[in-house]
Structure 1
């Protein structure tokens, strides 16, 4: 799977379709991904796929305890960001993707990965970032993307 998926700005799945695959704390949040996607011009299925990959489909401690659904790090590199709700976590992830990726021309899963989860990053000592493109692509395609 190459990760070069066309149409990452056009919605490929609505909230109800996303809900069929979302688990853990992401369960029944498809409408939130759909709203954030419309607000920021990003396919809701891509937002959900990134969240599913980053959180083990809503089961990670970051998702459950910090509502951090995108693996977003603090600017100073001191750890994961914390949000006050699932809604805020989804909105901040979508806003971040819009401003720092889509607005800069990084619109494919492969392009996003090079900045979002780069291979050999300091905060990835066990090399998990190599799984980002295949993982996000798998989830994206399972959601209809």
Structure 2
């Protein structure tokens, strides 16, 4: 056959470019070979692609900083923050406790200051009865028959009866009936009234601020005793229950009776527990008189 025939030899020119078509990857799963390895599909070599390639330079990888607390910063920082808050709260509570404790040591000692009406209303009036060592003579004559429920007079109950009442009501002043009786005799006031005030103010020291102040009549702050409030608007803290008894007798006898001429419960209560200080004057008067009647009749419990 002639060499110029189109059959026999490859009819393509040697210089004609070859179009490379990559084989399609089969969708079948590649199974491992017998040797345990994975048989990869054959790679087909072809001419380099003429598609331009853009090179992207990534920033240099640097280790993240460990921070102030090192590798434990993710939990140590919040922990220290919470710990600081707890410590701060404890300091605030401690400061408040110290302040409250210090408040009981404050004395109202400013001459000329306006004092509650209960204790006289002024330093001079207070000083008159507080510095006394016994009953003062009245500035004005006291009627011989001042009316019912006059605090002046001899005892109408005994020291033993007072102790029975205090014990029956579980008073912290139980057993101190003799002192309550003796001070009444000294200042010329029937101790049954002191007992009635004691009951109405704090149920014999079992209720309210009297548990702390040991004050029979919840006397307002006075210059010679610690006060429950640093501004002087609280209550006087007595040294003992006996001291509380004595201060009440001195207040009633040497201020209300001797200086103001007030001798009956109806006269004393509006000054001692005025409505302006959120007191029910009539209820107070009735409570004291009812307690006095009950004990004079020999009954221990006031109903």
TM-score by length of 1: 0.84
Tell me which residue corresponds to 1:83. Answer: 238
Give yes or no for contact 1:8–1:46 (8 Å, CA) kept in 2.
Answer: no
Give yes or no for contact 1:66–1:81 (8 Å, CA) kept in 2.
Answer: yes
Tell me which residue corresponds to 2:283. Answer: 131
1 CA distance for matches of 2:238 and 2:150? Answer: 31
Correspondences of 1:16-95 after superposition (within 5 Å): 16-22=160-166, 23=169, 24-74=171-221, 78-95=233-250
Q: Which has the higher contact order (CA 8 A, sep 6+)?
A: 1
Off by >6 Å, runs of 4+ in structure 1: none
| Superposition deviation, residue 77 in structure 1 | 5.4
Where structure 1 has 5 or more consecutive residues not aligned to the other structure, the ranges are none
Task: From the two aligned structures, give the one with the greater helix fraction.
Answer: 1
Q: In terms of Rg, which structure is larger?
A: 2
Where structure 2 has 5 or more consecutive residues not aligned to the other structure, the ranges are 1-146, 223-230, 298-303
Tell me which residue corresponds to 2:267. Answer: 111
| Superposition deviation, residue 51 in structure 1 | 1.0
2 CA distance for matches of 1:9 and 1:105? Answer: 15
Give yes or no for contact 2:151–2:265 (8 Å, CA) kept in 1.
Answer: no
The total of aligned residue pairs comes to 139
Secondary structure in 1 matching 2:209 = helix
Q: Aligned-residue CA RMSD in angstroms?
A: 2.1
2 CA distance for matches of 1:63 and 1:143? Answer: 22
Cα offsets for 1:16-49 (capped at 9, x unmatched)? 1122222322322221111110111100111111
Tell me which residue corresponds to 1:98. Answer: 253
Secondary structure in 2 matching 1:101 = helix
